[in-house]
């Protein structure tokens, strides 16, 4: 298919300019002003919409194999396309856990058959994510994007150091869910004012930053590439900031919900429950400052669908996790860019450029590159309605929020994977 995208505002080389893009055989063949085409080319006039490099989410739960009543690779990848993502990285808390070549290939077979966009699986750090024995990291290495035990912190210092040393040898990233089990004390929301006022058990901030502090020391010893998942506390941000100044190979992500909500926004509803939890206003401000100064490298959704029943049990009893692939860009554009907290260019760096650089996924808009891109109308205003989602999950704290930014189209290798009617 040959396609000419005309009259668009294109993000290229960290700036936005008005250009046309000509696509042939799945690749970008020309970027310029007033491009012309032959009779065999489909012309799409984008009427001043914006073309961004495909978004990359390094933290997604696709639930298949093992939990397809929550989500499938097909529905999750469709949701990604709807949200402007061309690449998503699938976390390993599955059944079977991808802790061996045999197990990861079960997931890869489904990806090959059903994925609408590019799906990159994680391998687990430990067998069954149990923290007792290292997975077959050597065997998994060529099939996975990185290693993680997401959903659980690796509690043993020796086990984590062994994993980091092996990851260093394999030139792979360790992506850590940082959580000290001994400090959880049955908590399920932030240990803050809302928990105290309403009689809920709180999760203290140290349960997160305490393990980050340990891991930074292990990175010093191992020299591995280390990535911190879903950073939520001010102490975490400062620890990572200092580690970067030291020159350690550390990156981190935060989620849209931590940047937009705090524990003062909580309601007695499972759609406000996730792990780590919504934190304090001070934590939120530290995250925003971390984004501004480059301490926080990227934004990932931690898209974690559950069944309606699993999310209907209130704050205490509901499963942890919310969906986010279809709301991330409009929520962040509305709450950060339109409020002049960050620039649009910065948001694209956080959602595409930076995760791509760290995880080796290139969606940049350049000649001879695959046409992995997403088109947005930034003036389109609407109210987020979970019933319009393509994901099987419906639980989101953003339900009912008025936002700007509609995904008009997402392409992978020049093929349209989502198009707004």
Could you say which architecture CATH assigns to the domain 54-359?
Alpha-Beta Barrel (3.20)
pTM of the model: 0.98
Query: Of all helices (H) and strands (E), which one includes residue 206?
Result: helix 206-222
Scored b (16 or more CB within 10 A) or e, 216-240 reads: bebbeebebbbbbbbbbbbbbbebb
- Tell me how far apart the alpha carbons of residues 219 and 164 are, in angstroms, rounded to a whole number: 7
Task: Please report the pLDDT score of residue 37 as a whole number.
Answer: 86
Task: Please report the pLDDT score of residue 38 as a whole number.
Answer: 87
CATH placement of domain 2-51+368-419: 2.30.40.10
CB-based contact 278:189 (threshold 8 Å): yes
CB-based contact 140:106 (threshold 8 Å): no
- Tell me how far apart the alpha carbons of residues 153 and 130 are, in angstroms, rounded to a whole number: 10
- Tell me how far apart the alpha carbons of residues 73 and 95 are, in angstroms, rounded to a whole number: 14
pLDDT grade, residue 137 (50/70/90)? very high
- Tell me how far apart the alpha carbons of residues 14 and 100 are, in angstroms, rounded to a whole number: 39
Q: Is 302 an active-site residue? A: yes
Q: At what angle do helices 234-245 and 281-293 cross, to 10 degrees?
A: 20
Instruction: Check pLDDT > 90 for residue 253.
Output: yes
Helix-then-strand count for the chain, H and E: 13, 17
Spell out the domain ranges in the chain. 2-51+368-419, 54-359
Which one of the listed residues 138, 302, 372, 380 is annotated catalytic? 302
pLDDT in tens, 42-83: 999 999 999 999 999 999 999 999 999 999 999 999 999 999
Task: Please report the pLDDT score of residue 39 as a whole number.
Answer: 85
Q: How far is CA 259 from CA 290, 332, 349, 358, in A?
A: 11, 8, 16, 22
């Amino acid at each position: 298919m040959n396609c000419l995208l005309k009259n668009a505002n294109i993000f290229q080389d960290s700036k936005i300019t008005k250009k046309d893009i000509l696509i042939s055989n799945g690749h970008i063949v020309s970027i310029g002003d007033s491009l012309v085409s032959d009779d065999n080319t489909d012309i799409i006039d984008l009427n001043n919409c914006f073309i961004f490099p495909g978004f990359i989410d390094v933290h997604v739960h696709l639930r298949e194999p093992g939990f397809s009543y929550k989500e499938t690779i097909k529905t999750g990848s469709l949701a990604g396309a709807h949200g402007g993502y061309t690449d998503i990285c699938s976390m390993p808390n599955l059944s079977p856990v991808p802790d061996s070549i045999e197990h990861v290939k079960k997931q890869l077979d489904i990806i090959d058959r059903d994925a609408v966009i590019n799906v990159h699986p994680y391998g687990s750090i430990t067998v069954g994510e149990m923290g007792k024995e290292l997975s077959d990291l050597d065997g998994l290495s060529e099939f996975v994007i990185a290693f993680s035990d997401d959903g659980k912190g690796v509690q043993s210092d020796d086990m984590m150091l062994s994993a980091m040393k092996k990851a260093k040898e394999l030139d792979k990233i360790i992506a850590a869910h940082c959580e000290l089990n001994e400090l959880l004390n049955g908590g399920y929301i932030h240990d803050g004012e809302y928990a105290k006022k309403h009689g809920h058990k709180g999760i203290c901030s140290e349960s997160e930053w305490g393990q980050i502090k340990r891991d930074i020391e292990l990175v010093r010893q191992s020299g591995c590439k280390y990535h911190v998942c879903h950073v939520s506390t001010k102490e975490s941000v400062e620890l990572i900031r200092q580690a970067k100044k030291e020159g350690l190979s550390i990156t981190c992500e935060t989620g849209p919900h931590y940047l937009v909500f705090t524990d003062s926004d909580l309601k007695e509803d499972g759609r406000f429950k996730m792990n780590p939890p919504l934190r304090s206003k001070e934590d939120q401000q530290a995250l925003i400052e971390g984004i501004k100064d480059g301490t926080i490298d990227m934004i990932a959704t931690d898209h974690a669908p559950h069944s309606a029943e699993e999310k209907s049990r209130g704050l205490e009893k509901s499963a942890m996790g919310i969906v986010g692939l279809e709301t991330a860009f409009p929520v962040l554009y509305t709450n950060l860019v339109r409020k002049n907290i960050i620039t649009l260019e910065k948001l694209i760096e956080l959602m595409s450029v930076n995760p791509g650089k760290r995880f080796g996924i290139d969606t940049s808009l350049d000649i001879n590159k695959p046409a992995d891109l997403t088109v947005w109308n930034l003036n389109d205003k609407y109210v987020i309605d979970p019933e319009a989602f393509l994901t099987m999950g419906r639980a989101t704290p953003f339900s009912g929020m008025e936002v700007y930014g509609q995904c008009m189209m997402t392409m992978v290798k020049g093929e349209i994977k989502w198009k707004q009617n």
